[in-house]
Amino acid sequence: MAEAAAEETVDAGGQPVRFGTFAGVIRPGVLTVLGALLYLREGWLVGNAGLGGALLVIFAAYAITGATALSVSSIATNLRLRAGGAFAIIATALGLEAGGAIGVPLYLAQSIGAVMYLYAFTEGWAYYFPHHLPGLVVAGAFAGVAVLTVASSALAARAQALMLFVVVAAVASAFGGWGTVETLQVPQGVGRFPEGSLLACFALFFPAATGIMVGVGMSGSLYKPTSSIPRGTMTVWGSTLAVYTLGAVWYATVVPREELLTNKLAMADHALMGEVVMLGLLSSTLMAALSSLVAAPRLLQAMAEHEVVPASGWLRRVTPGREPRNATLLTLGVCAVGLTAGSLDAIAPILTSFFIMTYLAINVVVALEQGLGMVSWRPRFRIPTFVPLVGALGCVTALVLTSPAGGLPEVLFVSGIYAYLSRRKKVDTPWDTVQSGIAKTLAAWAALKAAQGGDSERNWKPDLLVPVGSEAEAKALTPLAFAVTRYRGSIKLVATRDDAGLATLLDDQVAYLREQEGFASWHLMPEERPGQAARLSINAMAGTFFAPNLLVLSARLIDPAIVQEVVDHARACHIGVLLAFDDPARPTERVEAVNVWLSDRSPAWQLSLQMTNLDLPVLLAYLLAVPEEAAIRLGTVVRSEASLEDARRFLADVIELGRVPRAEAIVQHGGFLDALHASPRADVHLLGLPETIDLEALGRIHAAAGAPCWFLQDSGQESALA
């Protein structure tokens, strides 16, 4: 049940002790699995569910742990496990946030698991001393185990050889009871479940099968973990399954049916030598409790090493002999609180939920690793893809059916830990995970579907291409690009000059944009003549995923001689253009009001899905306004008073059919520059870009507006009414 007696055991000289497959995986696994539930609850399981029902429960539990054991064996041969067992597996694949979300409940399960074994010891003790108070017995057993845990974590490993002999002798003595029975009982196929449903039986029995993966936690103490873990884990799984299956048959054929429900120590009473069985029960339960209290602090200390848990600085400390003393003290405190549960039956279902969550995560990790088909997934122990999927499905089913609230509390608990760790800046996974592989696989699938589906106005979002040739240009255009794409879209910055200062600035800017959850990147494309980089970038990226659909230029910093050339090339390639007249002292990042100016369309004030130099300004105004709930004004200046009413209706239709929020229409008659100067204040004005560009004329418009002006050319892919 515990993952390991210790992640790394040390000898008297402080040197790591390495184990082979038998000593490091098989022996601790068998000792952990063949414990309390074999002696104290399997008989009750058979009496309650019948032989058929008991075997169904056993096979269901072992199907889940078997699939998980195969998944663990496979992933153990594909990476070098760090300290922490299952926490290390999940953290390596999905990051420290996911590792901590599973590691914390696993730590609690290991800590509380010792409580279950201590209560099992108390039940066995009552067989010899029925008049001793159970509370004092369990407290005394806990005190003894606690002293041994603090004194020496290597004690469990040293005692395992003797304990295995005792357990084997106890099992042999129990099965020897077949020879003492004159008449075998007739097994009951399916019981009447007088003391619990089939699901209750599963929840009670499942912890018995969880110790098969004890070797994972011993990976740091194995000579060859890549071979020992698969061989040892599957050996433990197969051998203990055989013992529990044979044990169910033994109970059904040796012990009378009525006694199975009333006598929890029936195995000792009907064994060849009951004293040997009781010795096996008492020694295995104490051994398992000791192993749990040694394993849990190692897991806690491993999480503390990566700042996953609170008080990590205190919990990560170890003694000169590498003992996690502080983590051990906390674990003993958790165990002491768990003793208030009162019985073995109250503890087992809690452990079932926590272990199922852990096994679910392991199977999901392997299913992802194998399903992504990444080159880095090259395990020496390969399993069919359906195995982790079956394991994950079995875990979900078991969690929903056995948890009192359908697994919701456990899911909320794990999700809460993940959300907490995701917000902590201290938690930063220092290695590569499969998350990027998942993202790239999904992106590749999406790119294929997008390419097959073609372009659609409904799917439009701003994918910006921003050529910059100086630090001043980067500082001016990056805030503008972020303002446009912070709600939706992507940014591709192109450095047109090989300059160390510019490269450093772009690195910093891209890092900032990604921190703000923006999709940003940059690359170098030195140009031999002005405008060359923009044209080449448009051509090179035309077939890429998130291909640029909007070219961003700074009117202040671009060479006037090449503006028309670059804009014409963008138009020919169906790329939109944003030519910005900005304010160097006030970069456009956040806006409170946006004014959109539409040209006079007299006399044809008619709406259509695509309208030249209207769609892009309206859509960008919406994107600028959404994050800050800014006001949007749609304005136009008509040459004839007769067109005023048609213009108002047109703008009202654009606002209504375009679903433009917080928008109002402004319709004026007269000179455009005068109307622009007298218009309500705005943080940015959006206007159409004429086919023939006159920078001086556009500059006069900028001066009249008294605020940044963006002149926009549609690409033909946008539609404000779509």
Once rounded to an integer, what is the mean pLDDT over residues 556-582? 87
Q: Using CA atoms, how far apart are residues 359 and 102, in angstroms rounded to an integer? A: 9
Beta carbons within 10 angstroms of residue 340's beta carbon = 8
Once rounded to an integer, what is the mean pLDDT over residues 528-549? 77
Asked which of 150-154, 166-170, 483-487, 549-553 is least confident by mean pLDDT, the reply is: 150-154
Task: Mark out the alpha helices in 373-423 (DSSP H runs).
Answer: 386-402, 408-423
Residue 33 confidence (pLDDT) above 70: yes
Cα atoms in the Cβ-side hemisphere of radius 13 Å centred on 629 = 0
* Pick from 52, 402, 474: nearest CA to 203: 402
Q: Using CA atoms, how far apart are residues 407 and 519, in angstroms rounded to an integer? A: 36
Give the pairing of strands 576-581 and 709-713: antiparallel
pLDDT at 45: 92
Q: Residues with Cβ < 8 Å from 515, sequence gap 6 or more? A: none
* Sequential DSSP letters for 682-698: -SEEEEEPPSS--HHHH
Once rounded to an integer, what is the mean pLDDT over residues 684-695? 90
Q: Using CA atoms, how far apart are residues 407 and 542, in angstroms rounded to an integer? A: 48
Q: Using CA atoms, how far apart are residues 224 and 221, in angstroms rounded to an integer? A: 9
Asked which of 209-213, 308-312, 365-369, 575-579 is least confident by mean pLDDT, the reply is: 209-213
* Contact between 489 and 464 (Cβ < 8 Å): yes
The highest-confidence range among 183-197, 313-327, 696-710, by mean pLDDT, is: 696-710
Q: Residues with Cβ < 8 Å from 365, sequence gap 6 or more? A: 71, 75, 89, 90, 93, 94, 434
Helix, strand, or coil (residue 445):
helix
Residue 22 confidence (pLDDT) above 80: yes
pLDDT at 392: 92
Residue 8 confidence (pLDDT) above 50: no
End-to-end Cα distance, the chain: 58
pLDDT at 594: 92
Same fold, 457-580 and 590-722: yes
Question: In one letter, which amino acid is 69?
Answer: A
* Sequential DSSP letters for 444-495: HHHHHHHHHH---GGG---EEEEEE-SHHHHHHHHHHHHHHHSSS-EEEEEE
Whole-number average pLDDT of the chain:
82
Peptide bond into 379 cis (omega under 30): no
Q: Using CA atoms, how far apart are residues 328 and 301, in angstroms rounded to an integer? A: 9
Q: Using CA atoms, how far apart are residues 249 and 252, in angstroms rounded to an integer? A: 5
pLDDT digits (tens, 9 = 90+) for 297-326: 888 888 888 888 888 889 888 877 677 888
| φ, ψ dihedrals at 430, nearest 5° | -90, 20
With a pLDDT cut of 90, the percent of the chain lying above it is: 17
Q: Using CA atoms, how far apart are residues 100 and 383, in angstroms rounded to an integer? A: 27
| φ, ψ dihedrals at 595, nearest 5° | -105, 125
pLDDT band at 11 (very low <50, low <70, confident <90, very high): very low
pLDDT band at 537 (very low <50, low <70, confident <90, very high): confident
For tokens 């452990």, name the residue: 351
Q: Using CA atoms, how far apart are residues 290 and 221, in angstroms rounded to an integer? A: 18
* Pick from 111, 530, 161: nearest CA to 355: 111
What is the CATH number that goes with domain 21-128+182-322+346-371+383-423? 1.20.1740.10
pLDDT at 202: 87
Once rounded to an integer, what is the mean pLDDT over residues 135-162? 78
With a pLDDT cut of 70, the percent of the chain lying above it is: 84
Residue 435 confidence (pLDDT) above 80: no
Once rounded to an integer, what is the mean pLDDT over residues 129-152? 86
pLDDT at 156: 57
For the chain, give every domain's residue range: 21-128+182-322+346-371+383-423, 457-580, 590-722
* Contact between 43 and 350 (Cβ < 8 Å): no
Once rounded to an integer, what is the mean pLDDT over residues 254-271? 89
Residue 246 confidence (pLDDT) above 90: yes
> Which CATH superfamily does the domain covering 590-722 fall into?
HUPs (3.40.50.620)
- Fold that domain 457-580 belongs to in CATH: Rossmann fold (3.40.50)
The highest-confidence range among 47-61, 334-348, 359-373, by mean pLDDT, is: 47-61
The highest-confidence range among 217-221, 281-285, 380-384, 709-713, by mean pLDDT, is: 709-713
Residue 409 confidence (pLDDT) above 70: yes
* Pick from 492, 476, 461: nearest CA to 623: 461
Residue 517 confidence (pLDDT) above 70: yes
Once rounded to an integer, what is the mean pLDDT over residues 627-637? 87
**Is the pTM of the predicted complex or chain greater than 0.85?**
no
Q: Angle 408-423/96-128 helices, nearest 10 degrees?
A: 130
Once rounded to an integer, what is the mean pLDDT over residues 415-425? 78
> What per-residue string of b and e applies to 27-45 under the rule 16 or more CB within 10 Å gives b?
bbbbbbbbbbbbbbbbbbb
Cα separations in angstroms, 715 against 16, 571, 574: 67, 7, 5
Please list the helix, strand and coil fractions of the chain in percent, rounded to the nearest 5, in that order. 60, 10, 30
Beta carbons within 10 angstroms of residue 565's beta carbon = 15
Residue 450 confidence (pLDDT) above 70: no
Residue 19 confidence (pLDDT) above 80: no
The highest-confidence range among 59-63, 226-230, 538-542, by mean pLDDT, is: 59-63
Q: Length of the chain in residues, anyone?
A: 722
Q: Using CA atoms, how far apart are residues 662 and 621, in angstroms rounded to an integer? A: 11
